[in-house]
Amino acid sequence: MATLKEIASRAGVSVYTVSKVLSDQTESARISAARAEAVRRIAQEMNFRPNGVARAMRQGRTLQVGVLVPNNPGNRFAHPLAYETILGINEGLQQAGYLVALARIDDVRRGLEEQSRMFKERVLDGMIVLDSMPADVEQRLEEIIPKCVWCDSNMWREHGCIRRDEEQAGRLAGEAAVSLGYRQIAMVTYSPEYRSHFSASERLAGVRAMVEPLGRPLEILIEPGVADMPRRRQLAEQLHPELIVICHSIYQAQALRSMGEEVEKIAGRDYGLICCDDMHQLDRLWPGLSRVTFDRYGMGLEAARMMLKMIASEKTACVSRRLGGELLLGTTTRARDGSGTGRNGAAAAPAGE
Amino acid sequence: MATLKEIASRAGVSVYTVSKVLSDQTESARISAARAEAVRRIAQEMNFRPNGVARAMRQGRTLQVGVLVPNNPGNRFAHPLAYETILGINEGLQQAGYLVALARIDDVRRGLEEQSRMFKERVLDGMIVLDSMPADVEQRLEEIIPKCVWCDSNMWREHGCIRRDEEQAGRLAGEAAVSLGYRQIAMVTYSPEYRSHFSASERLAGVRAMVEPLGRPLEILIEPGVADMPRRRQLAEQLHPELIVICHSIYQAQALRSMGEEVEKIAGRDYGLICCDDMHQLDRLWPGLSRVTFDRYGMGLEAARMMLKMIASEKTACVSRRLGGELLLGTTTRARDGSGTGRNGAAAAPAGE
DNA sequence: CTGAAAGCGCTTACAG
DNA sequence: CTGAAAGCGCTTACAG
């Protein structure tokens, strides 16, 4: 636990000199090369590592940014998609010298302050909020934390927000369903009371916009609960080759695939399946899934950049952004007779940025 | 940005009094209730939140713990299993008032210090290392960080380590494969040069221990690369109803499932599939997968507790732990004729702690 | 019961 | 070229 003071006394110089040398300001402080070298050697010998806390205190900034993820009480569910974003955020911040501190909070059962020291004390330069929080929590956050970036959140305004273009995702999936020539189109999503995240309504709206103007009805299917065997089976029995199911999320796509398998139905052969969302490594785990791609890691990286600009007070650089994806047709969809569309014929251009 | 000093001057008391009141030490400091109340009111009005950095500096502890996860250079892969553990760690530490700071490091291309401020400065009370690091990195970490807990890591010694009993996982899967009566048993794992994580050799050893003493050969299959279509197809073609494939990880189980589907084979009906590993929410996404369960969130929670004890210097309480799982038979395996085992007949007792 | 003051380990304006 | 000293915002031993 060496300190500048100890190094200074060993080297026979002042604390000032040590500080300047170790922070590479020898020229501006015009410290002789010989002295600088001696100081560096001693610091090295003493295995010196600066006390980040003292530095933060002096400089009035912590070089720490929080990442807030939501949690349902007592739920151990680890949302793998959130993790992709977190890693992107981490990459962008870590290389800029920032530490990323994680916090996971319950809905509103308890005050923020009781849940994490992040809210009780001042320890952050800013916070990236992932996913949506109840409106009153969002407001409280802005009072407590100096700079907030809203990532994949319901919060949307001119500055400081970044999200996927979810309506585009819905449109791309809906358009593909139509142009592949399926006679019947359904969508699996959450029941209305669980559609609080903006992606639920936007993806649905995007799908509707492509399907309904053509006079095709869109049937809405709700994912049955894990233990609701009768409804799971019933849903699986409905699947047939002229039906394409558009899944809101990859969770629902995976769940539907499993339900289908239980009655020996395979996506692509026995029904069409396309997903509005994407997950990294799907190219390894389920390469055949037709889907609208999205790079969540990249979104995290962008959120980190936005945070850094916000900390640097470059407000104009923090204009909110909406990120696009593109259609990827795999083996879970097939062109139907008379669709006039080849296997990958419905591929659309990536959305603009 | 109120400070104790400002509150003190407004309240007409000393900084000492404010500090004692706001840290709930009014009795020991014998501060009158009226004064205490006045101070609290003013602090509230000024929206006071203590400066965590100043507090940390004064107390000589940061109340921050790092979590280190490995990364392959340039790889965006978000390891969902690691995230489960991270959330468990976070739960245990957050409620004890600690902040969890994430760091992700490359192999050894660059020094630790260049990769995260966590290593360059002193900002942590301890670190939980997730997964395995190269041996020289592990050694360096112990020099740099005051207290380390090794979670799911190759590092194994009497104190400060926590991991799954991977050999037990292999044994449970192997035992099930045998007792279900499959005539042929294979295992999908990584090629030998990628078996550096201890789970690779331990799961394999566990499977072998149950299969080979019975005179049953264990065929080793290597997961083909994502783009290696011929080998993927070849592997899929080999699948048949008398063969059970034991998958090392859920990634390989998912990949195999997809390969099988491409040739219209369904696990359970057209081949047996059992996995040595588990993932949260598989009950929703793939409830039918036969597997050896494991609660990674719980492992993270335990790692957090171990860290807290280590910080409190309760060394005896930090004895290393090996956590068990149990067999769960779903629909991807079926009892073969003459196995003498019912559908769920091979269920084993949970392993000890 | 309460307060003035030291000190945690840095950085930097100021003075030689 | 270099150093003594102030100060960031807390906590707490010491003195009334």
Question: Which residues in chain B have Cβ-Cβ distances shorter than 8 Å to A247?
Answer: none
Burial (Cβ within 10 Å: 0-12, 13-18, ≥19) of residue B247: buried
The pLDDT of residue B146: 82
The pLDDT of residue A286: 96
Say yes or no to pLDDT of A167 above 70. Answer: yes
Closest Cα of chain A to B275: distance in Å? 14
Distance A5 CA to D16 C1' (A): 34
Which of A329, A181, A196 lies closest to A267 in space, CA to CA?
A: A329
Listed range (A6-10, A274-278, A336-340) with the worst mean pLDDT: A336-340
CB B9 within 8 A of CB B18: no
Question: Is the C-beta of residue A32 closer than 7 Å to nucleic acid chain C?
Answer: no
Q: What is the mean pLDDT of chain A?
A: 90
Question: Is the C-beta of residue B57 closer than 7 Å to nucleic acid chain D?
Answer: yes
Nucleotide nearest to A58 (CA to C1'): D8
Which of A109, A94, A111, A135 lies closest to A301 in space, CA to CA?
A: A94
pLDDT band at A108 (very low <50, low <70, confident <90, very high): low
Q: Are A122 and B285 within 8 A, CB to CB?
A: no
Closest Cα of chain B to A340: distance in Å? 24
| Nearest chain B residue (CA) to A91 | B104
Question: Is the C-beta of residue A63 closer than 7 Å to nucleic acid chain C?
Answer: no
Listed range (A131-140, A184-193, B272-281) with the worst mean pLDDT: A131-140
A202 against B14, higher pLDDT: A202
In chain C, which nucleotides are within 7 Å of a protein Cβ?
1-13
Say yes or no to pLDDT of B343 above 80. Answer: no
Alpha carbon distance B270, A163 (integer Å): 42
CB B71 within 8 A of CB B104: yes
Q: Are A288 and B101 within 8 A, CB to CB?
A: no
For the segment 15-34 of chain A, residues whose CB is within 7 A of strand D: 15-17, 29-32
Closest Cα of chain A to B22: distance in Å? 12
Alpha carbon distance A177, A246 (integer Å): 8
Q: What is the mean pLDDT of chain B?
A: 90
Please give the DSSP secondary-structure letter assigned to residue A315.
G
* Section A195-217 average pLDDT: 94
The pLDDT of residue B74: 53
Nucleotide nearest to A14 (CA to C1'): D3
Please give the DSSP secondary-structure letter assigned to residue A186.
E
Distance, CA of A169 to chain centre: 16
| Per-residue model confidence as pLDDT tens digits over B142-175 | 889 989 999 999 999 999 999 999 999 999 999 9
Closest Cα of chain A to B13: distance in Å? 22
Please give the DSSP secondary-structure letter assigned to residue B5.
H
Q: Are B90 and A99 within 8 A, CB to CB?
A: no
Alpha carbon distance A260, A256 (integer Å): 6
Alpha carbon distance A241, A334 (integer Å): 9
Closest Cα of chain A to B213: distance in Å? 33
The pLDDT of residue B109: 65
Question: Which residues in chain B have Cβ-Cβ distances shorter than 8 Å to A284?
Answer: 226, 251, 255
Q: Buried b vs exposed e over A41-74: b needs ≥16 C-beta within 10 Å?
A: ebbeeeebbbbbbbbbbeeebbbbbbbbbbbeee
CB B138 within 8 A of CB B131: no
Q: Are B116 and A103 within 8 A, CB to CB?
A: no
Mutation target to probe the A interface, by most A beta carbons within 10 A, among B55, B99, B145, B297 is B99
CB nearest A288 (choices: B102, B115, B262): B262
The pLDDT of residue B316: 75
| Nearest chain B residue (CA) to A298 | B76
pLDDT band at B344 (very low <50, low <70, confident <90, very high): very low
CB nearest B78 (choices: A54, A84, A101): A84
The pLDDT of residue A196: 87
Say yes or no to pLDDT of A102 above 60. Answer: yes
The pLDDT of residue A18: 92
The pLDDT of residue A347: 41
Closest Cα of chain B to A215: distance in Å? 33
- Give the three-class secondary structure for A206: helix
Question: Is the C-beta of residue B268 closer than 7 Å to nucleic acid chain D?
Answer: no
* Section A177-187 average pLDDT: 95
Say yes or no to pLDDT of A333 above 50. Answer: yes
| Per-residue model confidence as pLDDT tens digits over A122-164 | 999 999 999 988 888 888 898 899 899 999 999 999 999 999 9
Question: Is the C-beta of residue A52 closer than 7 Å to nucleic acid chain C?
Answer: no
Alpha carbon distance B69, B104 (integer Å): 5
Alpha carbon distance B125, B236 (integer Å): 50
User: What are the angstrom distances between the C-alpha of B177 and each of A129, A167, B186, B252, B339?
Assistant: 46, 47, 10, 17, 10
Say yes or no to pLDDT of B346 above 70. Answer: no
B77 against A204, higher pLDDT: A204
The pLDDT of residue B225: 87
Question: Which residues in chain A have Cβ-Cβ distances shorter than 8 Å to B283?
Answer: 226
Please give the DSSP secondary-structure letter assigned to residue A20.
H
Alpha carbon distance B174, B207 (integer Å): 4
The pLDDT of residue A327: 98
In chain D, which nucleotides are within 7 Å of a protein Cβ?
1-13
Q: Are A47 and B331 within 8 A, CB to CB?
A: no
CB nearest A121 (choices: B50, B261, B283): B50
Alpha carbon distance B346, B328 (integer Å): 9
pLDDT band at A74 (very low <50, low <70, confident <90, very high): low
The pLDDT of residue A29: 78
The pLDDT of residue A353: 36
The pLDDT of residue A344: 44
Phi, psi values for residue A318, rounded to 5°? -100, 25
Mutation target to probe the A interface, by most A beta carbons within 10 A, among B251, B261, B301 is B261
Q: Are A86 and B102 within 8 A, CB to CB?
A: yes
Say yes or no to pLDDT of A290 above 70. Answer: yes
Question: Which residues in chain B have Cβ-Cβ distances shorter than 8 Å to A283?
Answer: 226
